[in-house]
């Protein structure tokens, strides 16, 4: 369980529906993670600030996406 009590202490709210988990590395155990009892979804690819990040850290996905 992630340290959800700290977000309460710091008056910070998480949008649990937008929180995702991405694992890096070949020998990662890929544990299930939760925030406040809500299981976080796992992903292998995510776009953040226009940059596509993949769990294998390859840039081929970035080149395939259309440029705006």
Report how many domains make up the chain.
1
At 68 the pLDDT is 56
Triad 39, 43, 29: Cα angle to 5°: 75
pLDDT tens readout for residues 12-56: 887 888 889 999 988 888 889 888 788 999 999 998 888 888 998
CB 33 within 8 A of CB 2: yes
| pLDDT for position 67 | 58
pLDDT on residue 2: 56
Domain residue limits at 32: 4-64
pLDDT number for residue 48: 85
């Amino acid at each position: 369980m992630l340290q959800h009590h700290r977000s309460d202490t710091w008056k910070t709210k998480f949008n649990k529906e937008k929180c995702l988990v991405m694992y890096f590395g070949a020998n990662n155990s890929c544990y299930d993670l939760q925030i406040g009892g809500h299981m976080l979804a796992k992903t292998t690819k995510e776009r953040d600030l226009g940059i596509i990040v993949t769990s294998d850290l390859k840039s081929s996905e970035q080149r395939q996406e259309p440029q705006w």
